Amino acid sequence: MLNRLRDPKVPLTAAAGFGGAALTAALLINRPSPAVTAVAGVVAGLAAAVSLLLAVARGGHRPRSDSWSWLAFGSVTWLSGVGVRPLAEGTPFVLTFADVLLLVGTVLLAIGCGRAAGRPAYGRSLLHYATNAYVAAASIFAICWLLVLAPAYAQGDGPGPLISPVLCLLAGCAVAPAVLATRAPGRRVATAALVALAAITFAEFATAVVRFTSGGDPPLVAGMVAPVAFLLLAALPWTGGHAPGRPGPSASVAVAEAAPLGLAAVATAVIVIGVITGGVRPPMAVLPVLGGSVVVVLLAKVFVLAVEATGMRASVASGERRLISLAENAGDVVLVCDHDGEIREMGSGVTAVYGYRAADLVGRSILDYVHSEDAPGVQAALRAMTTEDEPAPEGVCRVSCRVRAADGTWRPAESVATRHPREGEDLVLISTRDVSDQVALRDQVAHLTFHDGVTGLPNRAYFEERTREVLARRGAGRTAVVFLDLDGFTGVNDSVGHAGGDYLLSQAARRLRAAVRADDTLARWGGDEFAVLLESGSTGAGTADAQSAIDLAELLVRVVSAEPFRVAGRDIALTASVGVAFAEDGTPAGDLIRNADVATTRAKELGGRRVEVFAAHMHADVVRRLELAADLQRALLDGQFAVEYQPVVDLATSRVTAVEALVRWWRGSAFVPPQQFLGAAEDTGLIVPLSEWILREACREVAAWRASSWDVGLSLNLSCRQITAPRFVETVQAALAESGLPPGVLTLEVIEEMLVEDAEEVIRRLSELRALGVRLAIDDFGTGYASLALLRQLPVDMIKIDPSFVAGLGRDETLTLLTRTIVRLGHDLGLVVVAEGIERPEQLELLREMGCTRGQGYLVARPMAARGVDSLMRTSCAPLQNTA
């Protein structure tokens, strides 16, 4: 049975059955019987209560269930009052207990109606809500009193019968505006509940009229209005549209708001017409009382609203003062102006920020104090604050401009403008902040980002960006880049420190800036490098442009070397290597700068203090050198190198006394000459691991020959990078220890230039080797310029005559004399003299005649692998001319 009750069709059938039975019974009775009305009311109320409670039991949205619960309880209470009303007839009380039940039921129904309507979308407070309800109820009652109730009341015994209908009327008027201002889907439930309240009110008024006139019961039609309304409530939960209501559109809200005043106007018109036509009859005291009460209520409402408005204005004014005070304490200037810019109010903070007196600015235009370039933007912002053509989003507009201070300076400012309606006028509230410090900091950061901190010149990032701009705007024919590198600057940092080096760079920057034209861009590229961008010239890429760039480059070389730089109490003379590159059509900025750098490197390789103009082969050489360096590294890892040995013989006995180890590179089956890769190995630093490998390999081979009773020595050439490498001495010592070769058998050869450059460090390292017992030799002797001084500082065991001297023996008397002098000098100093490059027999004879003890060259023996040295050792006692 319970399951059947949950079926939505069962309550509807039951309600229809109850309602149909009640109406049939009522219509079959021809006389107005209180029992018939009571039975119909009980049946209809019970049907509504059961239907609504079943809807609540079915569950659903909580607000919907709450409204139905109130309506159900109201229906039960009302039907209880209807049921006991016949029993309460004849009691001496003005308001019987049956009337109390009816009133409670009515109140519950009103609450359910209000819950169904949802949150009221009109009204500002409980006072506003209550006064509107009272005015509406009083107006309706006045109309009813004038038209119906007054004649009936005159025949009655007192106001008792009016208490119930008046309270029902108040309840209905209290919820009616909420129902009017509610939109679907909750409006159906709220409207049905309101109809039930109206029906109950109508029935109660009809009952009161009958009690006043005849003391009997109301007509059957009047008594059946309420039961029909309850039947409507019974069917409503099962017809859809059960969600709670929501505030309706502004038009419905306006109707609900104006309804009480409209009813009051109608009531006033009816009363006036009644007075004029004589329709107003005693008792007349009710109408003045109603009118007076309405007036009192309205006056109370106006008074409270006036108090609230005053409080709101005071709160707004206080909030505005706090806002202005807060803004001024934060360093802002606050002002109020109209949309034309005329200042109406000015905060006192303007004195501290801009130096003006606030009173002096009132009535002036803010455009008088805004920079002329920024004034159009300010005017547009003020226009945007209006609600017409271009309203500002959310009523807020931000403006950046420059403001003139009292001292005449222009200060950057940021302003925020908001709409400020006041006293019927649409004004603008502007808060302005002086951002001079922020702008100065931003400019400083931008300067530091694109300028060098040591010289104050633009830096690399600025130069690259500027080059791109110039090439894009002026074309290649007007553009050239000049690169300058200070020769020997590394020694400056080592001698006077980095602070002294920075000071020298700042001096160099001042000299270069004085030499460069104002239209050109001078920048510090990095380290001791500077760059110049030539932006102006002739209309094409002609000779004038090229010559101007070269002239400037030569001027820069002269400016740097014109006089020494004074640093830390000493004079430092420097020179410069300069490279020039010209832009061609389509040349990217990066390639143009790179070309100038390549030309500078070329000038440095050629000795410095010169100008080189970029040519295409320079870049090709750099690319080849990079590729060669990569191939060298792979060759070292893959073991593509080999060691050959060139014998050194005693010229008197033809005996092999030593071998010089020479490196050979076989790239696959192709032989790479040493002069093609040794320079690249020196530049990239690969010469260090390569030389260490040669040293270990040669020491191992010579140690094996000596173990075979061959008394032979080993000579090795050293590079400057190898000598200055970390743990160089330890590397030589380890190679000797691993191979078992005695230190006195190893001779290390250096050229004279190495003893001049970084002389102190090189001589110290060589002295450490000499202390181990390793012999030292000066290679290519005679081509340097400080040989004798070095022979005094460094204990040398051997000198090797440069092949250029030997090549001139017998052909050039000067070279022959110089060679003879070197041989005699070596004998006088007790040194072993070795002649290099012996290729002709007459050279050999002259060297023997001069007393040169040892020699090497193609006439003696060519460089050969280790197996060839083995064969030579076995025949080394044969005459030299037979070994040619």
- In this structure, the number of other CB atoms found within 10 A of the CB of residue 442 comes to 12
357, 500: one domain: no
What does residue 610 show for φ and ψ, rounded to 5 degrees?
-155, 170
Q: Which helix (H) or strand (E) holds 787?
A: helix 787-793
433, 459: one domain: no
Confidence (pLDDT) at 448: 80
Q: Worst-scoring range by mean pLDDT, 117-126, 293-302, 723-732?
A: 117-126
Residue 672 lies in a domain: yes
Confidence (pLDDT) at 538: 41
Q: Which two tokens stand for residue 239?
A: 């017809």
Of the candidates 102, 110, 52, 64, the one whose C-alpha atom is nearest the C-alpha of residue 80 is 102
Residue 394 confidence (pLDDT) above 50 = yes
Confidence (pLDDT) at 282: 52
Average pLDDT over residues 693-700: 93
Last residue of a domain, one of 221, 250, 279: 250
Structure confidence at residue 246 as a pLDDT band (50, 70, 90): low
3-state secondary structure 576-588: EEEEEEECCCCCC
What does residue 182 show for φ and ψ, rounded to 5 degrees?
-105, 145
610, 697: one domain: no
Residue 647 burial (C-beta neighbours within 10 Å; 0-12, 13-18, 19+)? buried
3-state secondary structure 797-842: CEEEECHHHHHCCCCCHHHHHHHHHHHHHHHHHCCEEEEECCCCHH
- pTM summary value: 0.49
Which has more confidence, 149 or 651? 651
CATH code, domain with 492: 3.30.70.270
463, 430: one domain: no
Residue 2 confidence (pLDDT) above 60 = no
Instruction: For 731-778, write each residue's pLDDT tens digit.
Output: 999 999 999 999 999 999 988 777 766 667 788 888 888 889 999 998
Structure confidence at residue 35 as a pLDDT band (50, 70, 90): low
Residue 369 confidence (pLDDT) above 80 = yes
What does residue 786 show for φ and ψ, rounded to 5 degrees?
-140, 35
User: Is it true that the peptide bond before 185 is cis, omega within 30 degrees of 0?
Assistant: yes
Confidence (pLDDT) at 659: 93
Residue 287 confidence (pLDDT) above 80 = no
- In this structure, the number of other CB atoms found within 10 A of the CB of residue 590 comes to 11
Long-range contacts at 331-336 (CB < 8 A, ≥ 24 apart): 331/433, 331/434, 332/431, 332/432, 332/433, 333/431, 333/432, 333/433, 333/434, 334/429, 334/430, 334/431, 334/432, 335/361, 335/366, 335/429, 335/430, 335/432, 336/420, 336/422, 336/427, 336/428, 336/429, 336/430
Judged by DSSP in three states, 857 sits in coil
Under DSSP, the state recorded for 715 is E
Of the candidates 70, 64, 18, the one whose C-alpha atom is nearest the C-alpha of residue 44 is 18
Distance CA 614, CA 611 (A): 10
Structure confidence at residue 89 as a pLDDT band (50, 70, 90): low
Average pLDDT over residues 508-514: 94
Residue 335 lies in a domain: yes
Residue 655 confidence (pLDDT) above 70 = yes
Which has more confidence, 95 or 839? 839
Confidence (pLDDT) at 322: 66
Q: Which two tokens stand for residue 550?
A: 């070269």
Residue 150 lies in a domain: no
433, 481: one domain: no
Residues near 579 by beta carbon (within 8 Å), at least 6 away in sequence:
482, 483, 553, 595, 596, 597, 598, 599, 600, 601, 602, 603, 611, 612, 613, 614
Average pLDDT over residues 39-64: 67
Q: What share of the chain is helix, strand, coil (3-state, %, to 5)?
A: 60, 15, 25
Task: Give residue 377's identity as a one-letter amino acid code.
Answer: G
Instruction: For 115-144, write each residue's pLDDT tens digit.
Output: 766 655 444 566 676 777 778 777 787 777
Structure confidence at residue 184 as a pLDDT band (50, 70, 90): low
Distance CA 658, CA 826 (A): 19
Confidence (pLDDT) at 672: 86
Residue 270 lies in a domain: no
Last residue of a domain, one of 614, 645, 673: 614
Of the candidates 514, 606, 511, 598, the one whose C-alpha atom is nearest the C-alpha of residue 561 is 511
* Structural domain count of the chain: 4
Which has more confidence, 32 or 71? 71
DSSP string of 245-285? PEE--HHHHHHHHHHHHHHHHHHHHHHHHHHHHT---S--S
CATH code, domain with 434: 3.30.450.20
407, 501: one domain: no
Last residue of a domain, one of 614, 638, 670: 614
Give the rounded percent of residues in the chain with a pLDDT score beyond 90: 21
687, 583: one domain: no
Residue 151 lies in a domain: no
768, 645: one domain: yes
Give the rounded percent of residues in the chain with a pLDDT score beyond 70: 74
Residue 572 pairs in a beta bridge with 565
> What angle in degrees, to the nearest 10, is found between the helix axes of 187-213 and 225-235?
160
* Domain that residue 413 falls in: 330-440
Highest mean pLDDT among 32-46, 302-316, 630-644: 630-644
Q: Worst-scoring range by mean pLDDT, 7-21, 121-135, 648-662?
A: 7-21
Residue 431 confidence (pLDDT) above 70 = yes
Residue 536 burial (C-beta neighbours within 10 Å; 0-12, 13-18, 19+)? middle
Residue 533 pairs in a beta bridge with 481, 521
Residue 278 lies in a domain: no
Of the candidates 826, 804, 808, 829, the one whose C-alpha atom is nearest the C-alpha of residue 817 is 808
431, 459: one domain: no
Residue 315 lies in a domain: no
Confidence (pLDDT) at 513: 93
Residue 501 confidence (pLDDT) above 80 = yes
Average pLDDT over residues 383-395: 60
78, 23: one domain: yes
Residue 31 confidence (pLDDT) above 70 = no
CATH code, domain with 869: 3.20.20.450
373, 462: one domain: no
Residues near 322 by beta carbon (within 8 Å), at least 6 away in sequence:
none
Average pLDDT over residues 159-175: 74
Residue 243 lies in a domain: yes
Confidence (pLDDT) at 239: 65
Q: Worst-scoring range by mean pLDDT, 174-183, 463-472, 616-625, 646-655?
A: 174-183
458, 434: one domain: no
Q: Which two tokens stand for residue 795?
A: 């204990």
Helices (H), 89-186: 97-117, 126-144, 150-155, 160-180
Q: Worst-scoring range by mean pLDDT, 57-66, 561-570, 585-594, 696-705?
A: 57-66
Q: Worst-scoring range by mean pLDDT, 217-226, 410-419, 558-567, 622-631?
A: 217-226
Distance CA 374, CA 376 (A): 6
* Helices H / strands E in the chain, number of each: 33, 23
3-state secondary structure 297-352: HHHHHHHHHHHHHHHHHHHHHHHHHHHHHHHHHCCEEEEEECCCCEEEEECCHHHH
